[in-house]
Structure 1
């Protein structure tokens, strides 16, 4: 079976070409049906490929000199996009030369260029940034939006829930993902009007959308493992994500300090090393790397700028899975089912669903 190529912004990320190429090579070993379009400085890419003949044999290089820096504002990136590795990788998706793009570059620039180049899918007003977070359960939790949209209305939240559920079915294999809206409490009366309206819509439509919806969840429950998709606006989502990441680093640093405080602690560390290694693996962001811009006419995946080769490989693996499982088509199908449902739209929530005649 022939699958679309994955375009790699080889110049993105803190370490650029070396790590991006190493990561793509690792991913190629796991997904050997895929081919790659490596976008960036041809001389540097060819040099990096010398150590990865398997990737070299399955890749084409698209040369470009320009690079989007971490300091570039989205407006600056948009003006320069056509001559940059990030811009041309996304353009390759638009032109059909690749099925998806992966970049470790500037998040704001990537969002702006992706949205302008690919546009949003029919039925989606705004794309959302979604990522996988570790939990105490068997499956990771998908959280969106994580920063693409600082202000969202009920219509946006409903669309995010639809997209998140479709992604969850691909990522976790759960037939009916457990979807919740992030709120300050679980009672129906809690939260903003936008949250309450979105909850009312999703309760009425959930049975037509292959999801389980039971209202709200709170921030301390995100990683407990009893929810598959957490939906919120980009401002709240980004704050919550940074709090989760900061807490993980705090716990890891506290353990490290405690285990090095005395000879007895060091002996205790050696005894408990299997458990601490498991904790380290679970909290390592490289093992959950690859945030997805959902809702575009094409797949764009953001790798963390500081990701190592294994992290980049995970981002590419996420991309491959989304292509293999046709996540964009799944979202379109769910939107069509939403349009055919018979529930009534709550007062004040315009545009999501007209009352069926």
Structure 2
């Protein structure tokens, strides 16, 4: 029921995934009077979908505390997440209020042992392929230990979704020199560099390294990560607008645009944000994925695709295992330095 248009986007998106993945079944939680007529348009989805009715839903402008108080046990968002807790569903996908979704998911599913705060991880298109970037909005401010947790979780996600045996990890900073940056970032870098964690830590990376794909996993806290994400989205739209205006200026530019239309289609496809949609809530005892609220059916279907890969690759248990290993290694006492004569 969330997002800018609610079920009018969610249902067609689910129908697309029903075509792609015949093994999927769907629990559609929301107002039956709005959901059922839309489902009727998609026979294949209708065969594999169950509607769980509730006419209570969280508005996009609701504060997380308000959503918890008013929607507890009865809102569509709560019931979808609770279906994950009870095992009725393998994962929950929502285009609704991000703050409310995180608050409810954390309250209902709890965080994994050893995780102090969850993070939102996004797949970021790069010059090489894609990278995992986290946190992009769940945690405003993070200490060194939390950044290390993010690194462990992001590395596990990269193994699952990018198919990499040993992804490279970098900490987002204002420079690559070890003396630069906030103390918590420098301390996290020291821990990752000096510990025996099985992570391919590459050091500090800067903002332009995200798009270059310098590393497979970029770690930062939610304030910086969200600004970077929104700045990248805005820059992509700005460049697209500039390009379109320039190509319409003269007859020769229009002819050039016509001749190069294949290349422009490929560029548009590569930069299409709908094909990189789906923020994954990492660190929870269950799978929850946030779709962009303003996306269309294709974008929502992409978020479901991401969710399916996470479930298939058992990401939650991978993170749980990695965090247990991290906790054990970081608690090991350092070996005493050898005496020199």
Normalised by the length of structure 1, the TM-score is 0.90
> 1:18-57 deviations in whole A, cap 9, x for unaligned?
2101111111222222211110011222211112111111
Counterpart position of 1:86: 77
Counterpart position of 2:17: 27
> 1:286-312 deviations in whole A, cap 9, x for unaligned?
010100110001111000111111101
**By how many angstroms is 1:225 displaced?**
2.0
**Inter-CA distance 60–268: structure 2 relative to 1 (3 Å threshold):** same
In the alignment, structure 1 residue 315 sits paired with structure 2 residue 298: no
- Aligned counterpart in structure 2 of residue 14 of structure 1, from 4, 29, 35: 4
**By how many angstroms is 1:208 displaced?**
4.0
Counterpart position of 1:197: 187
Counterpart Cα distance in 1 of 2:319 and 2:28: 28
Unaligned runs of 5+ in 2: 336-341
Secondary structure at 2:260 match in 1 = helix
Counterpart Cα distance in 2 of 1:356 and 1:227: 29
Counterpart Cα distance in 2 of 1:290 and 1:335: 23
Counterpart position of 1:116: 107
Say if 2:85 and 2:109, in contact at 8 Å, map to a contact too: yes
Counterpart Cα distance in 2 of 1:302 and 1:86: 11
Counterpart Cα distance in 1 of 2:258 and 2:112: 53
**By how many angstroms is 1:86 displaced?**
0.9
- Aligned counterpart in structure 1 of residue 250 of structure 2, from 262, 266, 285: 262
Say if 2:114 and 2:327, in contact at 8 Å, map to a contact too: no
> 1:172-207 deviations in whole A, cap 9, x for unaligned?
1011111100001111111111111111111234x6
In the alignment, structure 1 residue 288 sits paired with structure 2 residue 288: no
Aligned length: 334
Secondary structure at 2:310 match in 1 = helix
Counterpart position of 2:339: none
Counterpart position of 1:7: none
Secondary structure at 2:52 match in 1 = strand
Counterpart position of 1:348: none
- Aligned counterpart in structure 2 of residue 100 of structure 1, from 76, 91, 112: 91
Secondary structure at 1:39 match in 2 = strand
Secondary structure at 2:211 match in 1 = coil
Counterpart position of 1:232: 220
Counterpart Cα distance in 1 of 2:119 and 2:103: 12
Counterpart Cα distance in 2 of 1:204 and 1:92: 41
Secondary structure at 1:83 match in 2 = coil
Counterpart position of 1:174: 164
Say if 2:2 and 2:60, in contact at 8 Å, map to a contact too: no
Normalised by the length of structure 2, the TM-score is 0.95
Unaligned runs of 5+ in 1: 1-10, 346-352
Counterpart position of 2:287: 299
Counterpart Cα distance in 1 of 2:182 and 2:6: 42
Say if 2:9 and 2:300, in contact at 8 Å, map to a contact too: yes
